[in-house]
């Protein structure tokens, strides 16, 4: 594209949209009105020309046989009274007879005379615009007369004229009326187009002002979408309202997350500050200093673990379409073995049969092993912290979904907590005294949702699902059960 083209497009784009719409509408109407007017003008002109030509043809048919050998016409012919002039000429241009209306000079040029000596022709004198004083329609036809019985026939040209005054006046009147009607129609349609453009763009301007108010801080405002209508503008309004609602919900979640994070981090920071102040309040022994340092190290470890979980939660928002397929059963078996083998005496998983795994064979999912272990570790940690042994891990495949279930024998979650358990820092009142930050299930929900799956929390007949809608029904008892449904991979990739 040339610079001129880009410059023209840039200048046009700076014109307000309403004016561009009206200008485009007016330009289209100019083309349509001009085309329609030209067609009407041509049809009327054709009809008028045909009437004139019919009169000329009739007069020529009567007068041609009357031309004498000397090139004269009888003055008493009635047909001469119906025409507005005639001439009888030789092809060289000399006038042999005329009635004085066309004058004594040939009404045709030499070239036209040569053409008329061969076949009839029609020519107009004078212009339609500007107005000509004596406009004529001329009809010239060849005439062959016998000078004597023995001589060669003489070639003459008969020119008949009829005035075009009424013909041209009708066309001028028609042209004037078409122009006036076209301009009036153009002005009227432009005004109507402007009104329609204003009416069509009025909601857009209203949406713009309301969006400006929202951007200025009034996040609770919504666009006023007319009810009972279903057009492009109202659909745009509903879409924008949906987007504003989603943004408002996202801002509210982030605000709640910041508040919860501040509250969760305030506790270990307050404990560390209090221990430092208490340690400095009076002289302490080495053993007391070491004991205070151990307690502060635990608080710092809790803060570090919380920061790591927040980082993992943020990193798990993207899908893992490029990850290789891994066997969910293998990863679950490795997680269960690690928990039972490394469990300290007296902990939940240290007792025999405290943690078991059931599976029906390999089940492949499109997640890497690190992500799968993160899901498994968080679910097993939740069961250890908030549940009770025995803990049952089940892996199977239902239709095209890989299913991972972790059930424990604890008290479970109350119904109101099931609805918010996957939110960040969501914890029950009694769970706040236990280790943990309330980010485990939130992290699992983020990973499963990003992978195109679903996370279910079920207890005592109550179910809560997060992520993609999966038609697979729940298959478990009334114990606290966390179910992860992930898209299954039908074929495992070949490994070298």
Strands 401-408 and 480-489, by their bridges, are antiparallel
The per-residue pLDDT for range 386-407, each reduced to its tens digit, is: 788 889 999 998 888 999 999 9
Q: What's the Cα-to-Cα distance from 203 to each of 20, 240, 241, 490, rounded to whole Å?
A: 18, 13, 14, 51
Question: How big is the chain by its Cα radius of gyration, in Å?
Answer: 50
CA angle at 93 for the pair 90 and 94, rounded to the nearest 5°: 70
Say which residue the tokens 């001329």 belong to: 138
Q: Any idea what the CATH number is for the domain that residue 117 is in?
A: 3.30.450.20
State which residues form the domain around 30. 17-171
Bigger pLDDT: 475 vs 183: 183
Bigger pLDDT: 491 vs 399: 399
The per-residue pLDDT for 308 is: 65
Strands 391-398 and 355-359, by their bridges, are parallel
Q: What is the mean pLDDT of residues 254-264?
A: 65
User: Is position 258 within any domain?
Assistant: no
The per-residue pLDDT for range 222-246, each reduced to its tens digit, is: 777 777 777 777 888 888 888 888 8
- Which residue, 144, 171, 198, sits at the end of a domain? 171
Q: What is the DSSP letter of 217?
A: T
Q: What is the mean pLDDT of residues 163-176?
A: 92
| Calpha distance 80→234 (Å, rounded) | 76
User: Structural domain tally of the chain?
Assistant: 2
User: Is position 306 within any domain?
Assistant: no
Cα of 334 vs its chain's centroid, Å: 49
User: Is position 335 within any domain?
Assistant: yes
Q: What is the mean pLDDT of residues 357-377?
A: 85
The per-residue pLDDT for 431 is: 46
User: Is position 279 within any domain?
Assistant: no
User: Is position 484 within any domain?
Assistant: yes
User: Is position 419 within any domain?
Assistant: yes
- Which two structure tokens, joined as six digits, stand for 440? 């485990």
H or E element in which residue 204 lies:
helix 165-215
Helices 165-215 and 232-280: crossing angle, nearest 10°?
20
Q: What is the DSSP letter of 153?
A: P
User: Is position 462 within any domain?
Assistant: yes
The per-residue pLDDT for range 293-339, each reduced to its tens digit, is: 887 787 777 677 666 655 655 555 444 555 678 889 998 998 888 88
Bigger pLDDT: 317 vs 167: 167
Residue 392 neighbours by CB under 8 Å, 6+ apart: 356, 358, 405, 406, 407, 408
With beta carbons less than 8 A apart as the criterion, state whether 86 and 159 touch: yes
H or E element in which residue 382 lies:
helix 369-386
At 486, is the secondary structure helix, strand, or coil? Answer: strand
Please say if the pLDDT value at position 50 is more than 90: yes
The per-residue pLDDT for 349 is: 82
- Which two structure tokens, joined as six digits, stand for 116? 């008329």
> Residue 212 class from Cβ within 10 Å (0-12 exposed, 13-18 middle, 19+ buried)?
exposed
Return the number of other C-beta atoms located less than 10 Å from residue 220's C-beta: 8
Of 86-100, 256-270, 412-426, which gets the smallest average pLDDT?
256-270
pLDDT mean across residues, the chain:
81
Of 54-63, 115-124, 311-320, 343-352, which gets the smallest average pLDDT?
311-320
Q: Three-state SS string across 66-130, please?
A: HCCCCCCCCCCCHHHHHCCCEEEECCCCCEEEECCCCCCCCCCCHHHHHHHCCCCEEEEECCCCC
Q: What is the DSSP letter of 308?
A: H
pLDDT-based confidence at residue 137 (cuts at 50, 70, 90)? very high
User: Is position 358 within any domain?
Assistant: yes
Portion of the chain with pLDDT greater than 90, in percent: 27
Q: According to the per-residue pLDDT averaged within each range, which of 26-35, 189-198, 224-233 is highest?
A: 26-35
- Which residue, 121, 152, 171, sits at the end of a domain? 171
| Calpha distance 401→333 (Å, rounded) | 19
- Which two structure tokens, joined as six digits, stand for 230? 């279903």
Q: What is the DSSP letter of 466?
A: E
- Which residue, 152, 171, 190, sits at the end of a domain? 171
Q: What is the mean pLDDT of residues 350-363?
A: 86
Please say if the pLDDT value at position 493 is more than 60: no
């Amino acid at each position: 594209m040339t610079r001129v083209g880009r410059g023209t497009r840039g200048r046009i784009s700076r014109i307000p949209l309403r004016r561009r719409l009206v200008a485009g509408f007016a330009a289209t109407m100019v083309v349509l009105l001009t085309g329609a007017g030209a067609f009407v003008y041509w049809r009327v002109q054709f009809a008028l020309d045909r009437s004139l030509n019919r009169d000329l043809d009739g007069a020529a048919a009567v007068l041609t046989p009357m031309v004498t050998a000397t090139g004269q016409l009888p003055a008493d012919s009635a047909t001469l009274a119906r025409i507005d002039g005639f001439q009888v000429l030789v092809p060289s241009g000399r006038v042999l007879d005329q009635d004085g209306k066309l004058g004594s000079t040939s009404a045709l040029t030499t070239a036209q005379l040569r053409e008329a000596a061969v076949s009839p022709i029609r020519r107009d004198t004078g212009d339609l615009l500007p107005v000509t004083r004596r406009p004529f329609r001329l009809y010239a036809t060849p005439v062959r007369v016998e000078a004597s019985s023995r001589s060669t026939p003489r070639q003459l040209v008969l020119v008949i004229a009829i005035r075009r005054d009424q013909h041209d006046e009708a066309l001028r009147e028609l042209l004037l009326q078409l122009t006036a009607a076209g301009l009036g129609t153009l002005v009227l349609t432009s005004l109507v187009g402007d009104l329609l453009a204003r009416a069509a763009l009025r909601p857009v301007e209203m949406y713009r002002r309301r969006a400006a108010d929202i951007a200025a801080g009034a996040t609770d405002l919504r666009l006023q979408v007319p009810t009972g209508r279903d057009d492009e503008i109202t659909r745009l309004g509903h879409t924008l309202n949906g987007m504003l609602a989603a943004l408002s919900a996202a801002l509210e979640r982030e605000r709640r997350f910041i508040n919860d994070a501040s509250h969760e981090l305030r506790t270990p920071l307050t404990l560390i500050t209090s221990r430092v102040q208490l340690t400095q309040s009076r002289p302490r022994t080495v053993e007391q200093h070491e004991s205070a340092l151990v307690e502060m190290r635990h608080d710092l470890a809790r803060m570090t673990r919380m920061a790591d979980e927040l980082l993992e939660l943020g990193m798990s928002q993207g899908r893992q379409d490029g990850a290789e397929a891994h066997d969910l059963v293998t990863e679950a078996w490795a997680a269960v073995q690690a928990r039972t083998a490394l469990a300290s005496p007296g902990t939940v998983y240290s007792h025999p049969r405290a943690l078991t795994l059931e599976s029906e064979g390999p089940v492949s999912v499109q997640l890497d092993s690190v992500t799968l272990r993160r899901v498994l570790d968080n679910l097993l940690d939740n069961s250890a912290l908030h549940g009770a042994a025995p803990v049952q891990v089940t892996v199977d495949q239902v239709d095209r979904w890989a299913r991972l279930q972790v059930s424990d024998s604890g008290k479970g979650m109350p119904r109101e907590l099931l609805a918010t358990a996957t939110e960040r820092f969501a914890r029950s009142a009694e769970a706040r005294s236990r280790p943990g930050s309330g980010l485990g299930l939130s992290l699992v929900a983020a990973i499963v949702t990003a992978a195109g799956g679903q996370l279910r929390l079920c207890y005592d007949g109550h179910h809560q699902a997060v992520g993609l809608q999966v038609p697979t029904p729940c298959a478990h008892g009334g114990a606290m059960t966390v179910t992860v449904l992930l898209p299954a991979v039908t074929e495992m990739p070949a490994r070298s």
